[in-house]
Amino acid sequence: MKERIDFARNAEAALRNPFLQSALRTAMVRFRSLRDAVVEEVPEWQVLREYAYATKMHVLANLDRYLTRLEANVAAAGGVVHWVRSGDEAASTIVDLARRHKAQTIVKSKSMTTEEIELNRFLHAAGVQVAETDLGEYLIQLAGERPAHFVVPAVHKSKGSIAALLSEKLGIPRFDDAAQLTRAVRGELRQRFFAADMGVSGVNFAIADTGTIVIVENEGNARLTTTLPRVHVALMGIEKVIPRLADLAVFLTLLPRSATGQRMTGYVSFITGPRRAGEVDGPEEFHLIIMDNGRSSIHADRAMRECLACIRCGACLNSCPVFERTGGHAYGSVYSGPIGAVLTPLYRGLDVGRDLPFASSLCGACEEVCPVKIGLPRLLLELRSRIVRRRGASWMDRLFVRGWVATMMNPTRLRAAGRVVRILHHLALRQRVPLPYPFSEWSKARDLPPPAGPPFRDRWRS
């Protein structure tokens, strides 16, 4: 039996880490204010969100058509398309390609999808060296950790701990200056880029009409990853396809503003097939791996389908008061925050992820900022109902809710129960007796309300 992700315990650990708390709070508040400032500049923001949602839902409703069109156009541009069902299959396809091209070293640009399938683990096992080239991902790889955030994977690391890590692994002095640290990594990565036989990237958007994949980044490492090595392999989930190049105008307005509060990222790469005759740059071969890995079963699940519209901007993480206090690792999966609390139970099973949908106050901040208008609170509620239906609730919870409902089904019963509760309430306030669940949990950080006297229904005079 697969182990349940114990979110409450993970959250407790995060709350006891004062550095993590202050680093996350600072980063999240900063991301929120950067985002809000550039979103305000776009008068038609809500219209763009509607359009993006409608476009994504339209694609999902016609996924077969758009994916085959994408395949045809990638092939027409000289690329090779591989269809894979699972993460393992995707990883072994990449390993096979590495073997076929006798690739000793691989460079990788930042990609959530490769994290999802734990590609690096497979490559290591196959004896292929792989280097992450996004600064944050590089640090995470050196530390042997997993990303703590979609966009800023090393958000949980301080400058001091990064300096110590780099000093230990690269044998450089413990610089105090971020620019010096970055320069050291840059020098290191340059060598990897020149030596790499193969580049692996993710895909932000794949354009069905033109067979183009689009990669959004700031450091230029994805540009190098996709152009310098002889072979470029891009991995995408089936949900990443969009119909037309024109749709990109909308998505490229929404994504950088939502993700990092930028009007546009430093680099946006449009890649249509490998290097053509007469061109000087680009790989000799371009492979696009189109992966399912659980997505088609979410696709078939009409109530949950819209979570496949996610463009991985991380805005829901940045707006989430829970994520702000736990960071990404607590979610026990590469997908964290509100969207992770939806995706993980769907990808890994309702039993494994059964705590996650409950770990939200349903404040709705995530839905408000989501650039593709995913109704995250509604999806969390839907999952909660499924988990309870599959007997995923604790007996205390069942007892409390069923008792509540039984009481509320009948005003006479409510009046009687109210009287008993008022007496117990008085006793609890006076005697400081240990309280039963759920009041025991409540009173850890909050006092009970003062005694109320007769209920409103007894005071009512028409």
Partner 1 sequence: MRATLFVTCLVDQLFPQVGEATVSVLRRLGVEVEFPRAQTCCGQVAFSDGFWPEAQRLARRLLPTFADVPDIVVPSGSCAAMLREFYPTLFRNQPWLAEQTRRLVERTYELSEFLVDVIGRDDVGAYFPHTVTYHASCHGLRGLRLREQPLRLLRQVRGLQLRPLEGLEECCGFGGMFAVKFSSLSASMLETKLRAIEATGAEVVTGTDVSCLMHIAGGLSRRRSPIRAMHLAELLAAQ
Residue 138 contacts by C-beta under 8 Å, 6 or more apart in sequence?
A: 131, 132, 185, 189
Asked if 317 interacts with partner 1 (CB under 8 A), we say no
Residue 213, both tokens: 């994949």
- The whole-angstrom distance between residue 253's C-alpha and the CA centroid of its chain comes to 20
Answer for which of 41, 43, 300, 462 binds partner 1 (CB under 8 A) is 462
Q: Closest by alpha carbon to 122, among 142, 100, 99, 156? A: 99
**Among positive and negative, which fits the CA dihedral 335, 337, 342, 346?**
positive
Asked if 399 interacts with partner 1 (CB under 8 A), we say no
First to last CA, the chain: 60
Asked if 325 interacts with partner 1 (CB under 8 A), we say yes
Asked if 361 interacts with partner 1 (CB under 8 A), we say yes
Max Cα distance, the chain (Å): 89
Question: Minimum Å distance from CB 412 to partner 1?
Answer: 10
DSSP state of 282: S
Asked if 39 interacts with partner 1 (CB under 8 A), we say no
Q: Between residues 149 and 223, which has the closer beta carbon with respect to partner 1?
A: 149
Integer CA distances (angstroms), 278 to 30, 75, 275, in order:
46, 19, 8
Answer for which of 17, 402, 423, 433 binds partner 1 (CB under 8 A) is 402
Segment near partner 1 (CB under 8 A); pick from 96-104, 255-263, 339-347, 401-409: 401-409
DSSP state of 236: E
Residues numbered 327 to 346 that lie near partner 1 (CB under 8 A) are none
State the residue for tokens 């007894």.
458
Asked if 438 interacts with partner 1 (CB under 8 A), we say yes
Asked if 7 interacts with partner 1 (CB under 8 A), we say yes
Q: Which helix (H) or strand (E) holds 108?
A: strand 105-108
Answer for which of 88, 176, 177, 368 binds partner 1 (CB under 8 A) is 368
Asked if 420 interacts with partner 1 (CB under 8 A), we say no
Asked if 37 interacts with partner 1 (CB under 8 A), we say no
Q: Between residues 208 and 383, which has the closer beta carbon with respect to partner 1?
A: 383
Answer for which of 411, 424, 427, 428 binds partner 1 (CB under 8 A) is 411
How far apart, in whole angstroms, are the C-alpha atoms of residue 382 and residue 304?
A: 8
Q: Closest by alpha carbon to 331, among 321, 345, 349, 319? A: 345
Question: Minimum Å distance from CB 157 to partner 1?
Answer: 21
Q: Between residues 287 and 329, which has the closer beta carbon with respect to partner 1?
A: 329
Asked if 11 interacts with partner 1 (CB under 8 A), we say yes
Asked if 453 interacts with partner 1 (CB under 8 A), we say yes
Asked if 326 interacts with partner 1 (CB under 8 A), we say yes
Residue type, 233: V
Segment near partner 1 (CB under 8 A); pick from 97-105, 131-139, 260-268, 454-462: 454-462
Question: Minimum Å distance from CB 33 to partner 1?
Answer: 11
70, 211 contact by CB (below 8 A): yes
Asked if 446 interacts with partner 1 (CB under 8 A), we say yes
Residues numbered 44 to 73 that lie near partner 1 (CB under 8 A) are none
Q: Closest by alpha carbon to 153, among 228, 259, 45? A: 259
Integer CA distances (angstroms), 313 to 111, 356, 388, in order:
12, 20, 30
Q: Which helix (H) or strand (E) holds 168?
A: helix 159-170
How far apart, in whole angstroms, are the C-alpha atoms of residue 365 and residue 28?
A: 13
Number of residues that bind partner 1 (CB under 8 A): 62
Answer for which of 123, 289, 322, 343 binds partner 1 (CB under 8 A) is 322
Question: Minimum Å distance from CB 386 to partner 1?
Answer: 8
How far apart, in whole angstroms, are the C-alpha atoms of residue 408 and residue 401?
A: 10
Integer CA distances (angstroms), 241 to 70, 202, 206, 302, 326, in order:
8, 13, 5, 19, 32
Answer for which of 321, 327, 391, 433 binds partner 1 (CB under 8 A) is 321
Answer for which of 72, 399, 423, 448 binds partner 1 (CB under 8 A) is 448
Asked if 452 interacts with partner 1 (CB under 8 A), we say yes
Query: Which residue ranges make up the site for partner 1 (CB under 8 A)?
Result: 7-8, 11-12, 15, 321-322, 325-326, 357-365, 367-368, 378, 381, 384-389, 392-393, 397-398, 401-402, 404-405, 408-411, 414, 418, 421, 437-438, 441-442, 444-449, 452-457, 459-460, 462
